[in-house]
Amino acid sequence: MTHAERPSAAAATLPVDLDEAAHRCLVAGFDGTTAVPHPLKRLIDRGLGGVILFTRNVRDAEQVRRLTDELRSIRPDLLVAIDNEGGGTGHLVRADAPEVPDSYALGVADDPALTARCADALAGHLATLGITASYAPVADLQHEPRNPIVRTRSFGADPVLAARHLRAWIDATDARGVASCAKHFPGHGGTVTDSHHGIAVDARPYDRLLVDLAPFRAAIDAGVPMLMSAHVVFPALDANRPATLSRRILGDLLRLELGFEGVLVSDALEMKAIADAYGEAAGARIALAAGADQVIVAVPDLEVTLACRDAVLDALHSGALPEERVREAAGRVRRLAERYATPRRMTAPWDADAGLEAARRAVRTRALPAPVRGAHVVDLFPAPHPALDRRGEDLLTELRAFDPEATGTALSAEPTDEAALVEGIARTGAPLVVATSDAGLHPWQARLRDTLAARRPDALLVDTGLPEGGALCSYRRGKVNLRAVAEVLAGA
């Protein structure tokens, strides 16, 4: 007998409506592209609030439509969600997703109408697939140079700039009948740890944290229907628990001081900041008690989701989790579903070229170098982040679309024989382009770039992450970002 078929003692004694309310507070990931797993069907039958899709659930656009239709045939008010920030973060490439740059490039271009066109394209595409909740945009401010996780996902470091682009994104998404979600409250941009991998701490004093709250205030004022919490400890706000588990941050700060009345959803509980320190099941119980309305369990192993569910039911049964707290949370989720669960499949066309226009405008905000033809491109970048990055985009491929004579070397890890590599590259007679991606976080990239630049002072340096002094910057490695740089390199 599987976990799904072993109801806890608490589940057997709770009122049916309270059991349903508890299930509404869960968002589950799962495996597969066609059939809905039986344990997931049982969860949906009992009131599951939402599912979150990933690349593992996507084969092509028509398949996604069939899958979302099947999910809603089980329960029409199920919210179907996905991370859909654009740029390098995208799970819908195989479903013909519109190409838009990361938010940082939109901030550099600084045209809210253009940001709205990009957000509209993403949301219009989601609606045609039957996906009506988007865990975007990122409202974090990127102001810590060593931050490993926010970076170009942010609109920038300026809270006023971020606020105007957040408003544009939220309004455009809502106009398509898709729920947006500003994340990660109260801000992940001041940390030097990725909460996917461990406990992240922002030790700044309270007065310095206020700037990070400003974009979230703007998102709330714009009517954002969802916020996502950060798995970050803020000693100035609550020294004992990360924001996702903190009543002081979720209750006192977000609900009482900022007046947010929408759905507060946790970041994924299997992230190590929660899973290693508390465990997913305890994390679910504590997050709901602290003020979250939904908790995400994104891993495809439904046993983890079921363990979280049972922890919530047991806490309700024992009184450790107040019944009124769960009913309040479920009520918010129910109202969200009433507004967004049903997709608008018949949608007006979106601007498929908005993303490339934005990427071009971001690249061209600085003085441009002269074109290089027949260049040798050394493209250095870290291995893709498993939760965020696509795989396969590279600068050489984009450049060869305009300059077939271009050659290159791509590395996503430190070379085994750096001296031999440098010698071979330095001796090439072709113009040399050296691209790095956040080399300040990856010393092997910085060392290799600097060594090549010393051997070849004529080398053209390109940044494919945040700006680090290169002649060109793409503001991340999304397809349109790299294409916009390639056009400049080739003089296209």
Tokens in use for 72? 């809603």
Q: Which helix (H) or strand (E) holds 436?
A: strand 432-436
Distances (CA, A) of 72 to 41, 60, 66, 274, 335: 11, 19, 10, 30, 17
What's the one-letter identity of residue 234? F
Q: Look up residue 10 and give its two tokens.
A: 């608490």
Query: Could you tell me if 155 and 105 are in contact, meaning their C-beta atoms sit under 8 angstroms apart?
Result: no
Give catalytic status of residue 196 as yes or no.
Answer: yes
- CB contact set of 143 (below 8 Å; sequence gap of 6+): 157, 189, 190, 211
> Phi-psi region for residue 347, left (φ > 0), alpha (ψ -120 to 50) or beta?
beta
- Alpha carbon distance 417, 432 (integer Å): 20
The bridge status of strand 238-242 relative to strand 232-234 is: antiparallel
Q: Any bridge partners for residue 138, and if so which?
A: 183
Q: Which of 61, 57, 116 is nearest to 82 (CA)?
A: 57
Q: How many CA atoms lie within 13 A of 258 on its CB side?
A: 28
How far is Cα 41 from Cα 37, in angstroms, rounded to an integer? 6
Q: What's the CA gap between 413 and 383, in Å, rounded? A: 7
164-180: b or e for each residue (b if 16 or more CB lie within 10 Å)? bbbbbbbbbbbbbbbbb
Q: What is the separation, in whole angstroms, between the first and last Cα of the chain?
A: 62
Could you tell me if 113 and 164 are in contact, meaning their C-beta atoms sit under 8 angstroms apart?
no
Rounded to whole angstroms, the Cα distance separating 231 from 245 reads 8
Nearest one of 140, 332, 321, 121 to 228, comparing CA atoms? 140
Indicate the length of the chain as a whole number: 492
Q: What is the CA radius of gyration of the chain?
A: 23
The secondary structure of residue 153, as a DSSP letter, is G
Is 455:482 a contact under the CB 8 Å cutoff? no
8 A C-beta contact, residue 229 and residue 258: no
Instruction: List the catalytic residue out of 165, 188, 196, 317.
Output: 196
Q: Record the tokens describing residue 469, joined without a space.
A: 């002094």
Q: Is 31 a catalytic residue?
A: no
Catalytic residue among 77, 120, 267, 394: 267
User: Whose CA is closest to 87, among 195, 176, 169?
Assistant: 169
Catalytic residue numbers read 196, 267
